[in-house]
Chain A
């Protein structure tokens, strides 16, 4: 009883706080400060049509590097945490077959899902999308393939190599920025190209492709760990 009262008290104080925020809310009428600079100069300075991508990859590229690092850290902690003993590792669990519908549908859908993921991260600078979204779409294809065939083993080495190579390439392109362009993670190393083309906006499509591959590999790695931990006795 007293617990419900305390929960009610906390929620009521939140409602009070939000009510005060709501009645003092004044909608924005124009872009201010840094946002105005991004909107005005973003197209010319970075060459990306999608200004969110321009902010994420070019102006705040360092943030994105940290973000990718956090995902990597998550995958590593889960790998450490769900580590199996030698005996469990060798155990074989045979799952029963799943539905015929799911298997047939997955054979048709998985290539299309992968293709769509690649499209989303390649066109991150032109359309709503980008590396993280594309990587998540690719990982959803991996989920579908595991659901259709629960006995499938994900190729651990391939994932590891894709992840490492894309991570290192990200850093190398960042360091190239110091040598060729204005500084670390400067995207203007290839020249900006024609505004609105697929190969434009300097290194943004390249970087976003590496991020997409890395995110897809990392999420697949986490899924692999979850799937394997079923063997734990």
Chain B
């Protein structure tokens, strides 16, 4: 257990979430379940990006007492990478917008056919 690397653990979790999300997107028939799979996929990608900025044994990128007590009183040697976290903050907000739009479309589709089964929406199929 001692040499369990948190970076690798979060990589495995994010890969698992991405694969579960793709499985849901491809195999589910209900539109709400497809949207839920989409958000799971998105969470997996976000965890992946954050985990790429992880550095072993360091603390969050907030300059306070815990950073000053860290290695050699140097910010450079005691925090993880702040850039992926800032990018993920953006990605979460965009993901929220996309999910909200998907739910609005789902509502409209339900009004059109009174069903959420994706197989019933075959108007563009030949």
Residues of A within 8 A of B54 (CB): 27-28
A39 near B101 with CB under 8 A, answer no
A29 / chain B contacts, CB cutoff of 8 Å: 55-56
Bound together, the chains give a CA A25 to CA B11 distance in angstroms of 9
Residues from 97 to 116 in B contacting A, C-beta threshold 8 Å: 97-98, 100-101, 103-105, 107-108, 111
On whether the beta carbons of B15 and A51 are closer than 8 Å, the reply is no
Q: By the criterion CB–CB under 8 Å, are A27 and B7 in contact?
A: yes
Tell me the complex Cα distance, A31–B52, Å. Answer: 12
The secondary structure that dominates the B interface is helix
Residue contact B15 to A18, C-beta cutoff 8 Å = yes
A contact set with B: CB distance below 8 Å: 4, 7, 10-11, 14-15, 18, 21-22, 25, 27-31, 34-36, 38-40, 42-43, 49-52, 54-56, 60, 63-64, 67, 70-71, 73-74, 77-78, 81-82, 126-128, 130, 132, 136, 196, 215, 219, 222, 225-226, 229, 232
A136–B97 alpha-carbon span in the complex (Å): 12
Known: A39-B75, A232-B111. A67 touches B82 (CB 8 A): no
Tell whether, in the assembled complex, residue B107 and residue A74 are in contact, meaning their CB atoms are under 8 Å apart.
no
Q: Tell me whether B63 is interfacial, beta carbon within 8 Å.
A: yes
Asked if B22 contacts A14 (CB within 8 A), the reply is yes
Contact A128 B60 (CB under 8 A): yes
Q: Given A7-B27, A52-B82, A55-B83, 7 other A-B contacts at CB below 8 A?
A: A27-B55, A39-B75, A52-B89, A56-B86, A71-B97, A73-B97, A196-B64
CA distance A55 to B98 in the complex (A): 24
A35 to B58, CA, bound (A): 14
| Set of chain A residues within 8 Å of B23, measured between Cβ atoms | 7, 11
The chain A residue with its CB closest to the CB of B104 is: A78
Question: Considering the chains assembled together, what is the distance between the CA atoms of A70 and B19 in angstroms?
Answer: 28
Name the distance in Å between A166's Cβ and chain B's nearest Cβ: 15
The residues of B that contact A71 with a CB separation of less than 8 Å are: 93, 96-97
Across the interface, do A14 and B18 meet the contact criterion of CB distance under 8 Å? yes
Q: Which of B55, B75, B82, B100 has the most CB of A within 10 A?
A: B82
The contact of B61 among A51, A60, A77, by CB within 8 Å, is A51
Chain A contact residues, majority secondary structure:
helix
Q: Check: B36 CB closer than 8 A to any chain A CB.
A: no
With both chains docked as a complex, state the minimum distance between the C-beta of A165 and any C-beta of chain B, in angstroms. Answer: 20
CB distance from A31 to the nearest CB of B (A): 6
CB distance from B117 to the nearest CB of A (A): 16
Q: A10, B89: Cβ atoms under 8 Å?
A: no
Are A128 and B89 touching (Cβ within 8 A)? Answer: no
**Inter-chain contact A50/B76, CB cutoff 8 Å:** no
> Are B64 and A56 in contact, with the CB atoms below 8 A?
no
Candidates B5, B11, B86, B100; contact of A60 at CB < 8 Å: B86
Contacts of B86 in A (CB 8 A): 52, 55-56, 60
Chain B residues with CB under 8 A of A15: 19
How many angstroms between the C-alpha atoms of A74 and B103 in the bound complex?
12
